[in-house]
Structure 1
Amino acid sequence: MNMIESLEIDRWSGPFPAEAQKSALDALESGKVVFCPNLAFTLSDEETTLLSSDFASGKAKNISLDPSKGEIRGTAEHSETERLHGMLRRFSKGTAQLVAGLFPGYGRGIEQARTSYRPVEIVGRQTSPRKDDKLLHVDAFPSRPTHGRRILRVFSNINPAGKARVWHVGEPFEDFARKYVSAVRRPYPLEPSLLAALGITKGKRSAYDQIMLGLHDKGKLDARYQREAPQTEFAFPPGTTWLCYTDQVLHAAVAGQFALEQTFHVDIAAMGNSERAPLKVLEKIMGRSLV
């Protein structure tokens, strides 16, 4: 199965042709990466000074903007923090226009979450296997239960030196899930309530959240799977943009430096075909409700 679908658009806001909307929606919800080879996020002359790994605090791999509070996290104290804030706000606005124009049916069922800047080179970055995004995985939030809401992310490569951002894209979600779902640990009695009461999670984890976290960990910790799993390498050149449901697309970011990313949360009910959502796939496999 070809997991990359090209979309020939060159602007961030619509209106987009109905055929482009239909193609993008079908590819996105089918578990493909929608690749926009002609859609660049162009920095201003002033913003090019932000292309340095020195902006990262060293404690976090990404710098992020919280849209609800307007706060930036993960950056070292720097005189250009306000300029960094402006770049992230501009990317946030552009991606909101893009998603609204391509997927008008999502309407009020979509919520914009964090905007992030990734200035650190991926190659050579050391971390624990569970946190290592160089390994194939689906996204799941340990502290923020989604209860089945989708995780949609938009990425742009802004590397100034012509360096691609390289991903490995794996097999379809259902094939992956069937390998591990029976081995995922079930929560102890009262565990979700206790984690929420202690503030470790923002609300109680559903059975779905527990399974998604387990799938994330099982896949990353299985060295044989990482070596032998079907996967395709794809290089996203500078000046390009791509988007996918990262809770569905098995992906690994293996090389690259200087990228922007925007996260959205999407209600399953807003989808064009909700049966493709990981929640529905897992419920079909397990034969029971998970939220």
Structure 2
Amino acid sequence: MEMAASRAYGDELPDPCLDRIRERVFQLSRLYFAPRKLSLFRQRVESRLAQLGFADCCSYLDHLERTPGEYLTLLDLLTINETFFFRNPDQFTHLRQVVLPELELARGRELMRSWGGSGEGGQGIMKLRILCAGCSTGEEPYSVAMTLLEGLRYPKAWDIEVVAGDISKSCLKSAREGFYEIERLHNIPPHLIGKYFTATAGGAFVGEELRSLVRVIPLNLNDLMGGELPAGIGTGWGEFDLVFCRNVMIYFSPACQQLLVETLSRLLAPGGHLFTGDAEPLHLFDHDLVAVPKAGCLVYRKVENIEHASSL
């Protein structure tokens, strides 16, 4: 494993302990720091050394090995958790104007067909499951939840679950708290702020209607790519109607990007949609997804006639 990580990185850092830290970060998270990003990696690690009062990387490495939770803290420093509400607005427009009406039509027909059967009727047909992988501080999943509530004709007829996951402890804490300063609310239409948020000094809290739809969980994509379920998740993982994984793939090596695409495809239900970041087209990878050409943004759909067999 260590040799594979070193080969993935290529050039070695001059400090063997710093390079060992980089390898361990790669092993635990698949985060890939290419040669052009090595100076950034060094700066972030050295800032953590200064915070803890360690004299060198070897002392810090020893601390890391003895304190597993420190890796999560380091990962917080190594990733740039830049996000905002309704980021990539064309994707939310496509979700509301195209994807949701298609879902309503398809599920409505399926529900009507179920009424003529003798089984469980419509149980589970009106369930809508969304995964936000790399949810950062929560703006993305709450934006998705608002879009669903505003875009579905009868949102109360649906059993909606937005699973929001991230590896960052601090991001998960912010997402659960659901408080956003005034300047972080500027992309939300004022009427939606009044409808779904509770104003307070300096900002607003996410209201209960949105909170009830969003479940925030620790999510390490490295574990997912290795076939492991997220902590605390039993059965029923996968078969997502929508997956948002945006501005996450850029942190991985090309080989890991291929594996991530395969994993995300496996998590999608047949006919489900994958939304990626502006700089994350999938044309270089092998997968069973097709681009949605009229979307005007990066949206992919899982081909429905391919047998869906998820191992997760």
Which interval holds the TM-score relative to the shorter structure? under 0.3
Structure with the higher helix share, 1 or 2 = 2
Higher radius of gyration, 1 or 2: 2
Normalised by the length of structure 2, the TM-score is 0.24
